[in-house]
Structure 1
Amino acid sequence: MSKRIEVDGLNVYYSKFKAVEGVDMTIEPRTVTAFIGPSGCGKSTFLRTLNRMHEVIPGAYVEGSVKIDGDDLYGQGVDPVLVRRQVGMVFQRPNPFPTMSIRDNVLAGVKLNNKRVSKSESDDIVERSLQGANLWNEVKDRLEKPGMGLSGGQQQRLCIARAIAVQPDVLLMDEPCSALDPISTLAIEDLIEELKKEFTIVIVTHNMQQASRVSDKTAFFNIAGTGAPGKLIEFDDTATIFSNPSVQATEDYVSGRFG
Structure 2
Amino acid sequence: MSQSIDVKNLNVYYGDFLAVEDVNVKIDARSVTALIGPSGCGKSTFLRTLNRMHEVIPGAYAEGEVNINGENIYGPGIDPVNVRRRVGMVFQKANPFPTMSIAENVLAGAKLNNKRMSKSEADQLVEESLRGANLWEEVKNRLNKPGGGLSGGQQQRLCIARTIAVKPDIVLMDEPCSALDPISTLAVEELIHELKSQYTIVIVTHNMQQASRVSDKTGFFNIAGTGTPGKLIEFDETTKIFNNPAKEETERYISGKFG
Does 2:182 align with 1:215?
A: no
Residue 162 of structure 2 is matched in structure 1 by: 162
Residue 125 of structure 1 is matched in structure 2 by: 125
Large movers: runs of 4+ above 4 Å: none
Residue 70 of structure 1 is matched in structure 2 by: 70
Residue 86 of structure 2 is matched in structure 1 by: 86
Alignment partner of 1:142: what SS?
coil
Letter in 2 for 1:70: G
How far apart, CA to CA, are the structure 2 residues paired with 1:157 and 1:140? 14
Letter in 1 for 2:137: N
How far apart, CA to CA, are the structure 1 residues paired with 2:184 and 2:254? 24
Alignment partner of 1:137: what SS?
helix
How far apart, CA to CA, are the structure 1 residues paired with 2:76 and 2:124? 36
How far apart, CA to CA, are the structure 1 residues paired with 2:218 and 2:170? 17
Q: Among all aligned residue pairs of Structure 1 and Structure 2, give the percentage whose two residues are the same amino acid.
A: 75
Does 2:77 align with 1:61?
A: no
Residue 197 of structure 1 is matched in structure 2 by: 197
Letter in 2 for 1:192: I
How far apart, CA to CA, are the structure 1 residues paired with 2:145 and 2:194? 27
How far apart, CA to CA, are the structure 2 residues paired with 1:144 and 1:77? 40
Report matched runs for 1:5-24 at 5 Å. Answer: 5-24=5-24
Letter in 2 for 1:183: I
How far apart, CA to CA, are the structure 2 residues paired with 1:106 and 1:114? 14
Task: Give the CA deviation at 1:54.
Answer: 0.3
Task: Give the CA deviation at 1:196.
Answer: 0.1
Aligned pair count? 259
Residue 30 of structure 1 is matched in structure 2 by: 30
Any gaps of 5 or more consecutive residues in structure 2? none
After superposition, the C-alpha distances for 1:122-163 in whole angstroms (9 at most, x for unaligned) are: 011100000000000000000000000000000000000000
Letter in 2 for 1:9: N
Q: So what's the TM-score if we normalise by structure 1?
A: 1.00
Residue 46 of structure 2 is matched in structure 1 by: 46
Q: So what's the TM-score if we normalise by structure 2?
A: 1.00
Letter in 1 for 2:187: A
How far apart, CA to CA, are the structure 2 residues paired with 1:242 and 1:121? 45
Does 2:143 align with 1:143?
A: yes
After superposition, the C-alpha distances for 1:198-221 in whole angstroms (9 at most, x for unaligned) are: 000000000010000000000000
Residue 3 of structure 2 is matched in structure 1 by: 3
Alignment partner of 2:120: what SS?
helix
Residue 236 of structure 1 is matched in structure 2 by: 236
Any gaps of 5 or more consecutive residues in structure 1? none
CA RMSD, aligned part only? 0.4
Alignment partner of 1:235: what SS?
strand
Letter in 1 for 2:256: G
Does 2:245 align with 1:225?
A: no
How far apart, CA to CA, are the structure 2 residues paired with 1:245 and 1:213? 17
How far apart, CA to CA, are the structure 2 residues paired with 1:59 and 1:20? 15
Letter in 2 for 1:84: R
